Amino acid sequence: MKNNSKRFLLTYIFTIFLLGLSLSSYLIIRFKNISVLGAVLFGILIFAADNFSVPLPKTGFVSVNFGISLASLILFGPSTAIIVTFISSISLRDIFKKEPYYKHFFNSGQYLISIGVTSWVFEVMYSRELDNIFIPKHIGIIFLAAIIFFFVNTFLTASVISISKNIKIFNVWVFNFAWLLPFHIFLVVMSIAISFLYKAYGPFTLLLTLMPLVIAQYTYMLRTNERKALLNSIMHIVKIVEAKDVYTAGHSVRVAEYSEKIARKLKLNEYDIEILKNIANLHDIGKIQIDLSILNKTEKLTNEDWFEIKKHPVVGFEIVREITFLKDNADAVLYHHERYDGSGYPFGISNEKIPLFAKIISVADSYDAMTTDRPYRKALNINEAIEELECNIDKQFDRKVCSKMLEILFEELNAMQIQT
Ligand SMILES: [Fe+2]
């Protein structure tokens, strides 16, 4: 990250922290009434829950801690809820992982703002003298509080990811957080149950209500771990394929990186970008079936060799369509050697029949092939590769996709010139 962006990020983080601290101090002074027993019991619970939370696709974590915060708000009011929520921002995992100090400040700040705004609205609307959670007005207020917390919390987190990774905030939010909304609603129901049982039968009921929370969290952990494990094995297979071909080490990763950059220029959404990256990593996986003697041949390839090589998009397609979350876009592997003018392989289809993902991978793949040494020719430099790409617009490449790749390369050239 450049110095200016880092300075902006740090200023933003400390502003969030100071805002959170001021808001929560004000609310504690205004509403007073801290329940020591509530803060200790719910504090222990939330600390444990937060330290067993689940990694999100891009960054950040999901845990059941909001359910515990909300229950402490319903039972004891804003001051206790603020203390309990603050405890949840102390993450042992971040401390052990030696995460940068400003991450702790951001977490504390954003949690304090989220619970501060939520508990303020809640306390003003909720009639404590009625002492009944289950009247429709109170159920409505609890859900409203949950929605306020969800949006403030997720948009604050998305904002910092957006600044640090230079991705549009809405894209970050949709990809990382939108899918959590049903889980969040489930936590509201849990927090109502926790509050009711605690009020009716005392603190020991926390042991009973804790179990469904732990199970819910464990289920989410399994789901995210399963996808992570699958992606790791995919990357292992890619490395095996590249180890077979001495000329293409790192090729798939570079193609995936350029594909992502092109996709961002084309303003694709984060879901599509993630799928495209995975597909691009796998675009040559079909080469696993090609004989080593052909892949590493230094002399001119024969017609028979080409016949074998040209099978790899079909073989790759057969493999990728077996992967559940990639199967809908597996045709990008099948068509990544098709050309805009119909002169490619394996089917010779042209322009409108070629899917966008295949067009993107084709440009990224060709650029990387041009700029790396091959047995039959030396690598082109960036200027020569730009010329080659320009010459092949409307022949090999789609104009729109190729022009985005050219924009990226001109930016890289500019950056190189500034450095020298
Ligand atoms: Fe290929």
Q: What are the structural domains, with CATH classification, of the chain?
A: 3-226 (1.10.1760.20), 245-419 (1.10.3210.10)
More confident residue, 413 or 356: 356
Contact of 341 with 395, CB cutoff 8 Å: yes
Lowest mean pLDDT among 49-63, 332-346, 349-363: 49-63
> What is the Å distance from ligand 1's center to 341 Cα?
18
Q: How far is the CA of 406 from the centre of ligand 1 (A)?
A: 21
Decide: 120 and 27 in contact? Cβ < 8 Å.
yes
User: Which residue type, as a one-letter code, is found at position 165?
Assistant: K
CA 238 to ligand 1 center in whole angstroms: 12
Q: Calculate how far, in angstroms, residue 380's C-alpha sits from the geometric centre of ligand 1.
A: 19
**Please, what is the Cα angle at 159 between 180 and 356, to 5 degrees?**
70
Residue 283 Cα to ligand 1 midpoint, Å, equals 6
Which secondary structure element, helix H or strand E, spans residue 383, and what is its range? helix 382-391
SS3 374: strand
- Distance in Å, CA 99 to ligand 1 centroid: 39
User: How many CB atoms neighbour CB 345 within 10 A?
Assistant: 17
**Ligand 1 midpoint to CA 252 (Å):** 10
Token digits of residue 304: 């028979």
Residues 6+ apart with CB under 8 A from 161: 58, 59, 60, 167, 172, 176
Distance 320 CA to ligand 1 centre (A): 14
pLDDT for 1 equals 57
Q: Tally the residues of the chain.
A: 420
> Distance, CA 296 to ligand 1 centroid (Å)?
15
Kindly report the backbone phi and psi dihedral angles of residue 177, in degrees, each rounded to the nearest multiple of 5, phi listed first: -120, -30
* Three-state SS at 61: strand
DSSP reduced 3-state for 393: strand
- Rounded distance from Cα 224 to ligand 1 centre (Å): 30
CA of 279 to the centre of ligand 1 (A): 12
What is the 271 CA–ligand 1 centroid distance (Å)?
Answer: 24
Distance 57 CA to ligand 1 centre (A): 28
Contact 332, 283 (CB under 8 A): yes
As a whole number of angstroms, the distance between CA 7 and CA 159 comes to 15
Check residues 398 and 239 and name the one with the higher pLDDT.
398
Query: In angstroms, what is the span from residue 369 Cα to ligand 1's centroid?
Result: 10
pLDDT in tens, 358-396: 999 999 999 999 998 876 678 899 999 999 999 999 999
Per-position DSSP letters for 345-364, written without gaps between them: SSS---GGGS-HHHHHHHHH
Distance 284 CA to ligand 1 centre (A): 5
- Tell me the pLDDT tens digit for each residue of 145-159: 999 999 999 999 999
* In the block, residue with structure tokens 């995936």: 256
Residue 174 has pLDDT above 90, yes or no: no
* Centroid of ligand 1 to alpha carbon of 278 (angstroms): 15
CB 417 within 8 A of CB 411: no
Q: How many CB atoms lie within 10 A of CB 258?
A: 20
Query: Ligand 1 centroid vs 362 CA: distance in angstroms?
Result: 8
Contacts of 339 (CB under 8 A, 6+ apart): 350, 362, 395, 396, 397
312, 290 contact by CB (below 8 A): yes
Give CA separation, 102 vs 13, 66, 326, in Å.
7, 22, 36
Rounded distance from Cα 317 to ligand 1 centre (Å): 11
Query: Ligand 1 mean position to 308 CA, how many Å?
Result: 12
Residue 99's pLDDT is 74
Cα–chain-centroid distance for residue 274?
A: 8
Worst-scoring range by mean pLDDT, 104-113, 172-181, 183-192?
172-181
Q: Each residue of 243-269: pLDDT tens digit?
A: 777 667 788 889 999 999 999 999 888
